[in-house]
Amino acid sequence: MLALIQATNDLKTIGDQVVQLIMPEVILTLFACAALVLDVMLPRGRKRPVAWLSLAGVGFALVSLGFLYFNITSEGKSRLGFFNMIVIDNYAVVFKLIFLIGAGLSILLSIRYLDEEGEQRGEYYSLILFSVVGMMFMASGVDLLTLFISLELMAISVYILVGYTKRDRRSNEASMKYFLLGAFSSGVLLYGISMIYGLTGSTNLANIAKALPIIISPAYEPLGQTVDLRYLVLMSMILMAAGMFFKVAAVPFHMWAPDAYEGAPTSTTAFMSVAVKAASFAMFGRLFLYGLPDLRDTLAGNADKNIPGLPGWAVLLGVIAAITIVWGNLAALTQNNTKRLLAYSSISHAGYTMLGLIAANETGYTGFILYLFIYTLMNLGVFGCIIALRRHGIQGDRMEDLNGLMKKAPWLTVMMTIFLLSLGGIPPTAGFIGKLYLFAGLIETGNPWLVRLAILAVLMSAVSLYYYIRFIRAMYIEPETEMQPVKLAPSLQTALAVAVLLVMLIGVYPQPLLRLTQKAAQAQGLKTHDYDQKKADEGEIERPPGAGTGR
Amino acid sequence: MKLLGIGLLSWITWLPVVGGLLLLFFNRDKNDAIRWFANVWITICFLISLPLVLGSSSYDRILGGLQLIEDYEWIPLIGARYQLAVDGLSVVLIILTTLLGVISVVCSWSYIRERGREKEYYIMLMLLQTGMIGAFVAADMFLFFIFWEVMLVPMYFLIGIWGGKNRLYSAIKFFLYTLVGSVVMLLAVLKLYFVFPEVVQQQKEAVQVTARWLATNVSTGQVNGPMLNLMEDAFKRAQGTDPVTNKTLQPGYVRSSFNIAAITAVGPHIKTVYNVGLVIWLFIGFGLSFAIKVPMFPFHTWLPDAHYDAPTAGSVILAGVLLKMGTYGFMRFSLPIFPDAATHPRVRQVMIALAIIGIIYGALVAMAQKDVKKLIAYSSVSHLGFVMLGLFSINPNGVNGAVMQMINHGISTGALFMLAGILYERRHTYEISEFGGLAHVMPVFSTIFLIVTLSSLGLPLMNNFIGEFLTLRGAFEESVVWGALATSGIILGAAYMLWLYQRVFFGQVTKPENENLVDLNAREAWQFAPLIFLIFWIGIYPKPLLSYINPQTEVVVGQVRPDYFKQAPAAERREVAEEKKEGEGQPTDTTR
């Protein structure tokens, strides 16, 4: 294993052999297979070593990722590999870091929980690892095929994980729903992909980005006569966007999320609410910022020939983000099942995250990545606390189960409070820094519509505090309804402690993480967009280098 | 001034929360130890804030402006710095905060023993204390915002856990109202942050003139060098130079700044680079947040609920300090940063009208209350109307009076809430009709209540008289109608307070339960001593307090109405001009 990691580090061979570029994925795959084998060798009921083995795999992959970062991308360079199908840049590296942290914490959260459910088996961990492999390719894929296959690798693993507690009917139902809707959305996505392939003749995002400006000009004359292909391009863009909206659970494609989150075993819910969402966003960003940057703005029409201009995907995303934020927050207000409530909350967070893509400046992209990073920590933390409530005979996912928790487990309550306040964006927690960046991105554009969007988003984040405070009220103020003590497994304690420390640390001193995510946002190929294009062209505005520039 | 390498302001700010963290490690059953520790610790926190006004290294009130500056790099990527500094306004509010902190902890001694969960209670009070002080000392808007929001959470718990009957409703109402205001402010802060470098680059000279004005004492003409340097640093960064090395900024360092003083210098010039509309929108963004916190008339509905259900200490702090956050915000941000909006006739009319409605409406509703605590809560709405009226009179008298009123209201209303709390501890009710004739049973209590009542309604020789007098003088200076309307609030104030006193204390003892009420014990009586001392001191000799406030007031008025000091008759110049002769010899331009 160390030899493998060494291979990542060995720069001399990187020039002609590109396997090093995917070394973290290779390591994870090996460990996932090893976990399967180990699972067979261990006697029933003693499967815990599989968890430790998978955790070790995540650790080795992290080390290997670290080598990639320091050898290649830390200076802002990037490297293509495998016939330009994958790229290693800071964007990919930071997202892979998010997935690995998410996976590592999820494994720690799961160990005791699976015992409690009586489902401690090795496949669970290898499925997590396989899905992480898929996610990592989603972050670095720059080819529609790579992206789609890795998406499916992730999705299929997660379908199984959702239905993992096979004796639980809710879990089965959730898995079925998730599978059917997920398969449908994959189909929609694939439809869009096939259309864009038909239009541009390539599955490579860079080639697509090159071809698009020609195709969408209203005077495109491929065979000697003018063809307006813009509607077709838009159609394919909308289909791809719809597929992605499904995956990130944006309204109106969010129906699966509450059911799947509620039915899935809590540890899986934790994992899929953060890692799957982050991965889908990673692919979303790649697809739209790398592949379709020219479709952002209005597709120019031609007034002379009476051809109207068409709105680009910034408008689509803006509308969807607004609906998602509003609906996610409002629907969460009335929920009584904590997992279902958090599902709606995570829907609204998907809306917030999209704000970064819409803002389309460096601040916005930084916020986009930063927020996913922070969201991973805080949401895993909240789910970890809910997992702690799963005790003998108590499901632990009703609001009443939290009643009087302060008396039973004060430290757990304090940690849960910090995670909840962070989700609500109250300083000095990490969530505040994340939201600050997203809103700053929108404000920086100076576009009146985006400012309105920011006002809406910020007001809805005040609304969201209402339901986060409900948790806090139950924990601190309501009297206890059942007396069974809460005991935290050491692994769970570790995971929660790590998460809470990071959340507070990022809240108080965000500089290192900001720098890292800013590097990711500066990755080649993420095209920023200047809403003040006209002014900038005339040279009126000279933008400071650090505060976001239109490149 | 530094202790162990840490600046005085950092000590004052962080000491309470350190105490809170230490309390975490106490065994929660050892209530006596916890209570003693909290009382001693909060007293230490008060003592350590005293060097601000006493001793050799204290705040120089003749010089004015931001002093005791602490400036460290914090998040260079967004230009936020750890900057603490105080001016006269902050100094008096900090002393008020630390004093009320001690009093609120002391006055919960027996109440909280009864309610239980003492450890969490004291931790929350400590956390709240840090949040409030931090908001007053922050010289960086980002830091200010963090402290501003940090205050919400402990207050939510104080009301929600240890409050009265309707506590859950009141707590969430308080929380959401204030939160809505502050998130909107966040957007305005961000917009200011993004316009900052632009304005500095395009209006460099004008901005520097304003900066110099801000750092200059209007009466004596002295220039506060460190404060000017603080602003110059921000301007240098905005032009792409590192102020320390004088080289071009390294990549990763942004040009914008959150420094409040620098933003204040930039504020008046936003309209030349952008337009007045933007200034007014920004004013509304900030103003909404502060108006909710004050609370001004249409946004006041959270206040009676929150006060009614909060425990006594919570009410004291809420009335004494948290409401001042709003008026402090107007004085520190809204007026000087957006002078064009503040003097915009329509904006000003609306603000004044709301303030006067608040004065009269608050007083009338207070008169109709059947409950001691709600009455006091509505009286707060009325009193804070005076503060807002004084601020938006925008002349030295009005603003000085407003700041005086902020302090006075903290003292008098804080004391009233403590008195109401004592009644509640005795009888577990706030109903006025449950009492009557208490003067026979509790003579000491009645005496203290009388003093505080008279102070609250503005009897001469007591603190509120000075504040209200100055405020009304300022209001009359601008418009007779405003002054006349506001004065009616004072009459109403006397009416509801005296009527309350009559119903509770005079006449025969009507209820048998009241016949054997115990008078104040030593702790309860002595906790009023500092407040009563202040009531008389400010009432009889307000000059020391005014000498802290006045330089700041003049800067704000001069910033908002640049022509005021040119047109005003010589008599308008305040007495501080006497001190001008002493300080005139050596202008203390202590450039680094």
Give the whole-angstrom CA distance, residue B457 versus residue A159.
70
The closest CB to that of B145, out of A427, A440, A458, belongs to A427
Residue A333 touches partner B, C-beta closer than 8 Å: no
Both tokens assigned to B375: 């009455």
Positive or negative, the CA dihedral B383, B384, B389, B390 is positive
Beta carbons of B194 and A421 less than 8 Å apart: no
Can you tell me the mean pLDDT for A414-418? Answer: 93
Answer yes or no: are the C-beta atoms of B92 and B407 closer than 8 Å: yes
Q: What is the CA radius of gyration of chain A?
A: 23
Whether residue B183 and residue A476 make contact (CB cut-off 8 A), yes or no, is: no
Residues 6+ apart with CB under 8 A from B297: B354, B355, B357, B358, B361, B381, B385
The shortest CB-CB distance from B168 to any of A462, A477, A545 is to A477
* In the predicted structure, residue A534 carries a pLDDT above the cut 70: no
Q: Under an 8 A CB cutoff, do A455 and B254 touch? A: no
Cβ atoms of B399 and B331 within 8 Å: the answer is: yes
Peptide bond into A252 cis (omega under 30): yes
Beta bridge partners of A204: A143
Residue A324: its pLDDT value, please? Answer: 95
In B25-87, alpha helices (H):
31-49
Query: Per-residue confidence at A9, pLDDT binned at 50, 70, 90?
Result: low
Q: Is beta strand A79-81 parallel, antiparallel or unpaired with respect to B6-7? A: unpaired
Q: Is A59 on the interface with B (CB under 8 A)?
A: no
The tokens describing B196, both together, are 């900052």
Inform me whether the pLDDT recorded for B492 exceeds 80. yes
Contact in structure between B140 and B260 (CB atoms under 8 Å):
yes
Q: Which of B259, B383, B256, B372 is nearest to B326 (CA)?
A: B383
Q: What is the pLDDT of residue B509?
A: 86
Per-position DSSP letters for A107-133, written without gaps between them: HHHHHHHHHHHT---HHHHHHHHHHHH
Taking a C-beta distance cutoff of 8 angstroms, is the pair B144, B74 a contact?
no
A 424-443 residues with CB below 8 A of B?
A: 426-428, 432, 436, 439-440, 443
Distance from the first to the final alpha carbon of chain B: 16
Q: What are the tokens at A341?
A: 């409530």
Asked whether residue B236 carries a pLDDT value surpassing 90, the answer given is no
Q: Give CA separation, A267 vs A466, A539, B22, in Å.
A: 25, 53, 34
A411 against A537, higher pLDDT = A411
Following DSSP, what letter does each residue of B100-113 receive, concatenated? HHHHHHHHTHHHHH
Where exactly are the structural domains of chain B?
Answer: 1-340, 343-568
* Interface contact flag, A477 B160, Cβ < 8 Å: yes
What DSSP letter does each residue of A176-211 carry, written as one string? Answer: HHHHHHHHHHHHHHHHHHHHHHHHHS--BHHHHHHH
For residue B186, the chain A residues in CB contact (below 8 A) are: 436, 439, 458
Mean pLDDT (chain A, rounded): 87
CA distance A78 to chain B (A): 20
CA-derived radius of gyration, chain B: 23
pLDDT computed for residue A543 by the predictor? 41
- Put simply, the answer to whether A455 touches B187 (Cβ < 8 Å) is yes
Residue A525, SS3? coil
Q: Taking chain A, what is the end-to-end CA distance rounded to the nearest angstrom?
A: 41
How many whole angstroms separate alpha carbon B321 and alpha carbon B409?
9
Per CB-CB distance under 8 Å, the chain A contacts of B172 are 466, 469, 473
Residue in B closest to A458 by C-alpha:
B183
Instruction: Yes or no: say if A67 and A5 are a contact pair by the CB < 8 Å rule.
Output: yes
Q: Convert the pLDDT of each residue in B11-59 to its tens digit.
A: 999 999 999 999 988 888 888 899 999 999 999 999 999 888 887 677 8
The residue type of B446 is S
* A407 touches B: beta carbon within 8 Å: no
Q: Which two tokens stand for residue A209?
A: 């980005």
pLDDT reported for residue A525: 66
Nearest to A370 by CA among A547, A526, A509, A514: A514
**Rounded Cα gap, residues A530 and A537, in angstroms:** 10
Q: What letter would DSSP give residue A281?
A: H
Instruction: Measure Cα distances from A389 to A161, A292, A370, B439 in Å.
Output: 21, 45, 29, 55
- Residue in A397, A396, A389 with CA at minimum distance from that of residue A342: A397
Cβ-count burial A198-222 (b if 16+ within 10 Å, e if not): ebbebbbbbbbbebbeebbbbeeee
Quote the crossing angle between the two packed helices A410-424 and A490-508, to the nearest 10°.
40
Q: How far off is chain A from B455, nearest CA to CA, in Å?
A: 37
How much is the average pLDDT of A75-85?
83
Q: Is A544 on the interface with B (CB under 8 A)?
A: yes
- Inter-chain touch B179–A462, beta carbons under 8 Å: yes
Encode pLDDT of B126-159 as tens digits: 999 999 999 999 999 999 999 999 999 999 999 9
CB of A509 within 8 Å of a chain B CB? The answer is yes
Mean pLDDT in residue range B177-194: 91
Question: How many C-beta neighbours within 10 Å does residue A402 have?
Answer: 25
A contacts of B75 (beta carbons < 8 Å) = 509-511, 514
Contact B191 A544 (CB under 8 A): no
pLDDT digits (tens, 9 = 90+) for B413-469: 999 999 999 988 888 888 898 888 888 888 999 999 999 999 998 888 999 999 999
- The distance of A516 to chain B (nearest Cα, Å) reads 11
Which chain A residues contact residue B176 at CB under 8 A? 462, 465-466
- What is the pTM (predicted TM-score) of this model? 0.91
Q: Is the model's pLDDT at B571 over the cut of 60?
A: no
- A544 with B254: Cβ contact below 8 A: yes
What is the Cα–Cα distance from A173 to B447, expressed in whole angstroms? Answer: 72
CB–CB contact A421 B153 (8 Å) = yes
Task: Please judge whether B146 and A477 are an interchain contact, meaning their C-beta atoms are less than 8 angstroms apart.
Answer: no
Half-sphere exposure of A238 (CA within 13 A, CB side): 13
Among the residue ranges A206-220, B181-195, B290-304, the one predicted with the least confidence is A206-220
What is the spatial distance between Cα A354 and Cα A281, in angstroms, rounded to a whole number? 9
Distances from the Cα of B303 to the Cαs of A459, B97, B149, B428, B451, in angstroms? 21, 19, 18, 21, 25
| Phi/psi of residue B56, nearest 5 degrees | -75, -35
Question: Whose structure tokens read 């450890």?
Answer: B119
* pLDDT band (50, 70, 90) for residue A76: confident
**Residue among A443, A463, A466 with most chain B CBs within 10 A, to mutate:** A443
Average pLDDT, chain B: 87
Given B160, B180, B190, which is nearest A439 (Cβ)? B190
As a whole-number percent, the residues of chain B with pLDDT over 70 amount to 95
Residues of A in contact with B167 (CB under 8 A): 477
Q: Quote the CA–CA distance of A478 and A91 in Å, as a whole number.
A: 45
> Beta-carbon neighbour count of residue A515 at 10 Å?
15
| CA distances from residue A151 to A26, A245, A248, A282 in whole angstroms, order as listed | 17, 13, 12, 11
Cβ-Cβ contacts under 8 Å, B193 against chain A: 440
Tell me how far apart the alpha carbons of residues B201 and A204 are, in angstroms, rounded to a whole number.
44
Please indicate whether, in this complex, the C-beta atoms of B194 and A451 are within 8 angstroms of each other: no
Interface A-B, measured as beta-carbon pairs within 8 A, has a size of: 103
What is the dihedral angle through the alpha carbons of A290, A298, A370, A326, rounded to the nearest 10 degrees?
-140
Whether A376 and A109 have beta carbons less than 8 Å apart is answered as no
Q: 3-class SS at B57?
A: coil
Chain B contact for A476 (CB, 8 A cutoff): yes
Residues of A in contact with B254 (CB under 8 A): 544, 546-547
Structure tokens at A190: 């694939």
**Residue numbers in A near B145 (CB within 8 A):** 427
Q: Which helix (H) or strand (E) holds B571?
A: none
pLDDT tens, position by position, B543-562 = 989 988 988 898 899 888 88
Please count the helices (runs of H) and the strands (runs of E) in chain B.
30, 4
Q: How far apart are CA B484 and CA B479, in angstroms?
A: 9
Q: Is B521 helix (H, G, I), strand (E, B) or coil?
A: coil
Domains of chain A by residue range = 2-537
Is A459 in contact with B253 (Cβ distance < 8 A)? Answer: no
Of A178, A185, A195, A98, residue with least CA distance to A139: A98
Residue-wise pLDDT for A111-127, tens only, equals 888 888 887 888 899 99
Interface test with B, best of A422, A432, A465, A530 (most B CBs within 10 A): A465
Encoded tokens for A159:
């379908």
pLDDT at position A295: 84
Residue among A103, A90, A33 at smallest CA distance from A61: A103
Residue A515 is nearest to which of B77, B120, B191, comparing CB atoms? B77
Name the residue facing A462 among B156, B183, B197 (closest C-beta). Answer: B183
Cα–Cα distance for residue pair A419/B582, rounded to 1 Å: 56
